[in-house]
Structure 1
């Protein structure tokens, strides 16, 4: 029977949860050799996905279409790494043997195509993406411990990271949240804990999350195809400790009403930097900067929490060259956070967040 002993599977899972950040540099090196034209600030982005200045978020559009299911054979090269037994997909083995505390198969938007500032998506379950993105990370961990490399049969069989019909590619986002004040700018960092399904024990920008609807209903899937709405929900959950809410009234419920009003008044200014693929997991990430005038930030986030279900918030960090360099050199700072912060620092004049 094809498969690996359960103890070997769990050993790799344990190593991955403790050391996933250590796989980023080897993944970048792999793509520097295999796909050098795609690398940009440590992420995979074709030239026509990149921009030489920040883009106001409202200029980015999303469209929804049906997507063909991924053929079953696309999973087959990973199956030798699953535990011997009945499990056919990576999420099934994790669910059976190593279930995370926060673990559910909610609907997500799936990347299908990028054309300038137009992004085409379909829908998929969270586990559909997990079976590709985190399976790639698991295979990389298994290979790294044995050989020091990250490539294996699954990555080689998938081939082109831009072949979106050939795999499910969910879309995450990370936001560099900037509080702009006369005395200077600060930003927020989150240290993720053990309870999350992926990227445990690393630091990210906050908020960060999945681009997904507030619930699985057809109405929500259509109405919530709006990145700003998803961002607002993450601000409510990660900075204010709000529970997840299905289909909130974005114009009446707090803090959504206040966020909407402040954005209309240009006291909150969200910018799109780019979309790219994580070099380890090939998951898509939208990189965002959201600049808050200090009075609005202090009012909306007066009740900001110091911890949430996914980890701890660090004290606000000064947005200056010394601090940026320190985070960019931190091996526990996620690839997405590193890429986003580096791009934002490159564009700091256009974003209006230069040191005073």
Structure 2
């Protein structure tokens, strides 16, 4: 609900009914094969102007003692209510979107650097938009939101660190039938979208290991999708940055690569958007898998993972199935964006 309220602050950029906003040219004219998307890491990108230590952000920080507040939001979360998965790791920062090439540009950041900005943004809006009982208290304007006003243009990636996640709608195709999976995120385990439904797999765009070889191999959207697929659906240990680089030539990675090379699996990017509440980036993708490949992997699907539970029910990829979920308000903005765009482009995705 709050994401929808936040989206109303940017009426020209709203992806209707999703809680997402998209900048000019951030959504392509049609889905783009992931293999056609060039990723560029630009070391010349400047350090963001905002880092969450600003006076306007400090208004949203809880008290650390009677005399002072916490210096950063991540420090408050760590000391007061840390979720199970809460660790500062290197991540890639979105720096530019250009679908005419197509090309996405990235720079360096860390998870905590982004949390220190997006948490005050979200809490500031919640403070203004909700009453003491958590009920809607009216629609705020930017005049009511000093930190969001300081951020300014949400699509100016030089103002703040924009951490992108790669969210993937997984569709099982069986002839003229199609169905998809959803994931319920556990609020005790995750820092964002707790309790909501989300497409699966989904995860922050970051390398699997601190080792240089991993950073080079993992700067690839498909590898991010594969890794999250293996962790969230197959229960493989999370690549938390401390171990060896992932061996993409074995196990489910090899199965997925072979299926993709053989035309039994396709993965496309449907654009880039921002969660309007947090202004976190979302790379929206869809993976269509032939039934035989999907079922081969599904034998080992888990019921739960480190971030929540995998919904056993498969949802029909039909107008009624998609619309009922979007209207329910229970789907996280990124998932809603994937569903909405996939249905819009269903003839491209399921020819």
Could you tell me the TM-score, scaled by structure 1's length? 0.87
CA contact (8 A) 2:83 2:190 kept: yes
Who is 1:97 aligned against?
Answer: 80
Distance 1:172 1:186 in 2: 23
1:167 equivalent in alignment to 2:146: no
1:107-256 alignment to 2 at 5 Å?
Answer: 107-116=90-99, 117-146=102-131, 147-150=137-140, 151=142, 152-182=145-175, 184-194=177-187, 195-245=189-239, 246-251=244-249, 253-256=250-253
**Structure 2 CA distance, aligned partners of 1:131 and 1:221?**
24
1:223 Cα offset (Å): 2.2
| Cα offset, 1:69, TM superposition | 2.7
Q: Deviations over 1:284-335 (max 9, x none)?
A: 1011110000001111232111211211111111111111111110111111
Distance in 2 (alpha carbons) for counterparts of 1:73 and 1:137? 15
- 1:305 aligned to 2:302? yes
Q: How far apart, CA to CA, are the structure 1 residues paired with 2:252 and 2:115? A: 31
Secondary structure of the corresponding residue to residue 342 of structure 2 = helix
Contact conserved, 1:27 with 1:280, CA < 8 A, in 2?
yes
Superposed CA offset, 1:202-243 (max 9, x none)? 111111111111122333222211000010000100000100
Q: CA deviation at 1:183?
A: 6.0
1:74–1:158 CA contact under 8 A, matched in 2: no
Aligned ranges for residues 17-96 of structure 1 at < 5 Å? 22-32=1-11, 36=12, 38-41=13-16, 42=18, 43-66=20-43, 67-71=45-49, 75-76=53-54, 77-84=56-63, 85=68, 87-96=70-79
Q: 3-state DSSP class of the match of 1:50?
A: coil
Aligned equivalents of 1:219 and 1:323: distance in 2? 42
Q: Distance in 2 between matches of 1:213 and 1:250?
A: 13
Structure with more of its chain in helix, by fraction: 1
What is residue 327 of structure 2 aligned with on the other side?
A: 329
CA distance in 2, matches of 1:63, 1:321: 37
- Structure 2: how far apart are the matches of 1:171 and 1:72? 17
Determine helix, strand or coil for the equivalent of 1:213.
Answer: coil
- Given the alignment of the two structures, is residue 262 of structure 1 paired with residue 259 of structure 2, yes or no? yes
CA RMSD of aligned residues (A): 1.7
Number of residue-to-residue matches in the alignment: 327
Q: Structure 2 regions of 5+ residues with no counterpart? A: 132-136
TM-score normalised by L of structure 2: 0.89
Alignment partners' CA distance in 1, 2:82 and 2:302: 27
Paired residue secondary structure (1:156): helix
- Between stretches 106-115 and 68-77, larger displacement belongs to 68-77
Residue 191 of structure 2 aligns to a residue whose secondary structure is coil
CA contact (8 A) 2:50 2:159 kept: no
1:310 and 1:327 map into 2 onto residues whose CA distance is: 21
Q: Secondary structure at the match of 2:271?
A: strand
